[in-house]
Amino acid sequence: MSDVKKVVLAYSGGLDTSVILKWLQDEYQCEVVTFTADIGQGEELEPAREKAKKFGVKEIFIDDLREEFVRDFVFPMFRANTVYEGEYLLGTSIARPLIAKRLIEIANLTGADAISHGATGKGNDQVRFELGAYALKPGIKIIAPWREWDLLSREKLLGYAEKHGIPVEMKHKNGGSPYSMDANLLHISYEGRALENPAIEAEADMWRWTVSPEQAPDAAEYVELEYKQGDIVAINGVAMSAATVLAELNRLGGKHGIGRQDLVENRYVGMKSRGCYETPGGTIMLKAHRAIESITLDREVAHLKDELMPRYASMIYNGYWWSPERKMLQTMIDASQATVNGWVRVKLYKGNVMVVGRDSKTDSLFDPTIATFEDDAGAYNQADAGGFIKLNALRLRIAAKLRNKE
């Protein structure tokens, strides 16, 4: 008999976690509490409640975390212009610390002595969930079924589901298993099936949020974003909450074929993995945020942020959101955003985001009287540049003289 009496399961209602729910009841003979997070995946969540009820679950949590997700996780990440390995906008990674936080809160609320998740033993999510959980509740027991059971393929999961009467949607039209997908307000990801061969182009009908650039409108669309301390607070003059901002940018970006990515990334556990992503709103946000920073941040502050960003991105990708080093960096990043106020105008056209204007009435460091190619009326003494160049060339000149002697 297991010593686990009650476990909180991160439950989506999909294939993996539906099987896990039944497996936990059978293998651990324990009470299961389900937690389903609404972080903007765009799916009806009430079926998850009905599925959980069907298997006797008495405590069911379906929480709307969309605003918290964007305000407290996505926006802070974008203040750093965060990109992993030059391309990935961390849509899956940034959702995991919030889910871990809520799992622990529910465990405390219900008196559960364990939590469980549907992450596989090959992936990054197991690390992200569990690092977060241990950071927030060091003594919590974690059950990771993919590291215990023998249902190690999608086909075996489908067989288990059929045997135990677990309803499964989205079976592939050709009879195979569906893509492994993860969606939230920031992105949707696809893995598995043909994507496991990095040489093969993704199927055209796989994409869900964006039209192909070829099918996007022939007319460009201009969008104006207003910033306050590094965060977008209005679109085209309309004030919006954080979650509403991202949802609207997803709509606009998806309409214009923006945000598709096909990547091979290095997982924290050591392997390379191919995945496809749609991040329309995030792609616009990254481009626009760099534009407003270009006129409001001091050069050395901006460059220091760029140097630290890859380290910060790795912390998020690898699951260290709740670590002291990430919190320390976040304090520095947030301090840099005090002057990041103003507006950016972007043009959206057939998969492209083009910055066409930016300004800040209160914090712009762009001085047209100095930068002008016309007569600056003495604002900048060009003769000063000669001494500046000579001083910066001093070490180069000394080294060159030494080489010439040799």
What's the CATH code of the domain at 333? 3.90.1260.10
Single residue among 153, 180, 207 that ends a domain in this structure: 180
Residues 6+ apart with CB under 8 A from 261: 87, 88, 89, 276, 277, 278, 279
Instruction: Tell me the three-class secondary structure of 126-179, residue by residue.
Output: HHHHHHHHHHHCCCCEEECHHHCCCCCCHHHHHHHHHHCCCCCCCCCCCCCCCC
Q: What is the pLDDT of residue 405?
A: 87
303, part of any domain? yes
pLDDT digit string (tens) for 83-94?
999 999 999 999
Which amino acid is it at 391? L
Q: What is the pLDDT of residue 180?
A: 81
Residue 96 annotated among the catalytic residues of the structure: yes
Same domain, 158 and 199: no
Least reliable range by pLDDT among 135-149, 158-172, 230-244, 273-287: 158-172
326, part of any domain? yes
pLDDT digit string (tens) for 214-271?
999 999 999 999 999 999 999 999 999 999 999 999 999 999 999 999 999 999 999 9
The mean of the pLDDT values for the chain is 94
| pLDDT class of 171 with cuts at 50, 70, 90 | very low
Is the pLDDT score of 176 beyond 80?
A: no
Same domain, 114 and 65: yes
Domain count for the chain: 3
64, part of any domain? yes
Is the pLDDT score of 1 beyond 70?
A: no
Q: What is the pLDDT of residue 164?
A: 87
Same domain, 298 and 387: no
366, part of any domain? no
Same domain, 348 and 253: yes
Q: What is the pLDDT of residue 177?
A: 43
Read off the CATH number of the domain in which 103 is found. Answer: 3.40.50.620
Same domain, 13 and 94: yes
Same domain, 140 and 241: no
Same domain, 176 and 187: no
Single residue among 148, 180, 212 that ends a domain in this structure: 180
Q: Give the Cα separation of 206 and 196 in Å (integer).
A: 14
Is the pLDDT score of 2 beyond 80?
A: no
88, part of any domain? yes
Q: What is the pLDDT of residue 303?
A: 98
**Whole-angstrom Cα Rg for the chain:** 25
CA dihedral 44, 46, 52, 55 (to 10 degrees): -110
Same domain, 268 and 250: yes
Same domain, 171 and 205: no
Residue 16 annotated among the catalytic residues of the structure: yes
1, part of any domain? no
Q: Which of 66, 96, 154, 274 is catalytic?
A: 96
The whole-model pTM stands at 0.94
Q: Which of 125, 182, 231, 260 is catalytic?
A: 125
Q: Which of 16, 66, 102, 193 is catalytic?
A: 16
Least reliable range by pLDDT among 2-6, 103-107, 129-133: 2-6
pLDDT digit string (tens) for 197-207?
999 999 999 99
Q: What is the pLDDT of residue 178?
A: 60
134, part of any domain? yes
Same domain, 176 and 240: no
Q: What is the pLDDT of residue 16?
A: 85
Same domain, 237 and 191: yes
Q: Is 39 exposed, middle or buried (0-12, 13-18, 19+ CB in 10 A)?
A: buried
Same domain, 204 and 69: no
365, part of any domain? no
- Residue 259 belongs to domain spanning: 183-359
Residues 14-36, mean pLDDT to the nearest whole number: 93
Residues 6+ apart with CB under 8 A from 150: 156
Residue 314 annotated among the catalytic residues of the structure: no
Q: Which of 18, 93, 177, 180 is catalytic?
A: 180
Q: What is the pLDDT of residue 43?
A: 84
Residue 323 annotated among the catalytic residues of the structure: no
Least reliable range by pLDDT among 170-179, 293-302, 359-368, 392-401: 170-179
